[in-house]
Amino acid sequence: MFLINGQWQTSLNAQDRAIQFGDGCFTTARIIGGKVRFVDDHLRRLAEACKALWIAGVDWQGLADEIDNIAASQGQGVLKVIISRGNGGRGYSPSHTGLPSRLLSVSPMPEHYARWRSQGISLAASPVSLGKNPLLAGIKHLNRLEQVLIRRHLEQTGADEALVVDSDGSLVECCTANLFWRKGQRVFTPFVDQSGVNGTMRQRIIACLEHSPWSCQQVREPLSTLAQADEVIICNALMPIIPVNQAQAWHYSERSLYQFLAPFCE
C-alpha cells in the first residue's frame, strides 16, 4: 500500500509523469522509535531536487505531517517518499500538468546491513559507467536505469557492492551508496557535480569531518587510487556507514575513520 496524496491506495494514475517519464524525485530514510532519522535532511533534499526539476506546488507541510504520522504508526522500518510532477498528457511538456503527487511507503529495514557493519564488505568494479549530466547530477531523480543495470551486473559477482565510475573513468559512487577513502590524515570522496547522488549521509559526513582530526577533499580520481588507501567506507541513509574489507584486489583492515564517524551517523 502507498499513501498517495493523503489516501492509502495500491495504484497510481497511468498518466502520472513518474510513470510516463520518470519525472520526479525521491528519498529513502530510516524510521527509528517512531521518528524519521534526520528528517530535515530528507525534506531539504526533496526541496532541492524539486527546485532543480522545476516542480512547483508541493504541499510541504502536508508531506511533513504525513511523514510524521507514518513514522509514528510504524515504529521501525524504511520510509520511501516519492514526489512526481503529477498527472499530465502524452508529450514531454509539463505546462498542462496538475499538482505534484506525493507517494509514501514503508518497508522493513534490510537485515544484512547489521551484518555488514560488524563484518565489513567487499566492492567490485562495475562495467556500467555513469553518464555525465551536470543538470541532474547530485539529485535523486526517478531515472535510475543506470543503477538497475549496475545492480544486475553486481548480482553476477560475489561482491557486496559496486564501484562505479563515470564515462571518463573517474570514481563516483557505489550502486546504492556514497564512497569515502582515507590516506593517512586525509579523507577523500568523489565529486558528484557531473553524475552520481549527493546523499544525505555523504553531506553529513563531510560536515562532520570539518571538525575532526582528518581533512576531507572532493576529488576526481580513477578507481586505481583505492590501491593506496588505508581505509575505505561507504554510506547512505539506511546503512548508515559500512567499513570495506576489500575493493577489487586491495584489502583494508584499519577502522579508525569508521569508528570516529559511526556515532555521528547513527
Q: Which residues are catalytic?
A: 28, 140, 173
Look at residue 196 and give its three-state secondary structure: coil
Q: Give, in degrees to the nearest 5, the angle at Cα 118 between 112 and 123.
A: 65
- Cβ within 8 Å of residue 263, ≥6 positions away: none
8 Å CB contact between 32 and 78 = no
H/E stretch holding 186 reads strand 186-190
Q: Can you read off the three cell numbers belonging to residue 250?
A: 586491495
Q: Residue 102: name the closest of 144, 46, 52, 148 by CA.
A: 46
Evaluate whether 225 touches 155 at the Cβ level (below 8 Å).
Answer: no
- Measured between its terminal Cα atoms, the distance across the chain in Å is 28
CB atoms within 10 A of CB 148: 10
- Give 145's contacts (C-beta < 8 A, 6+ positions apart): none
Helix (H) or strand (E) holding 51: helix 39-53
Spatial contact of 201 and 30, defined as CB atoms under 8 Å apart = no
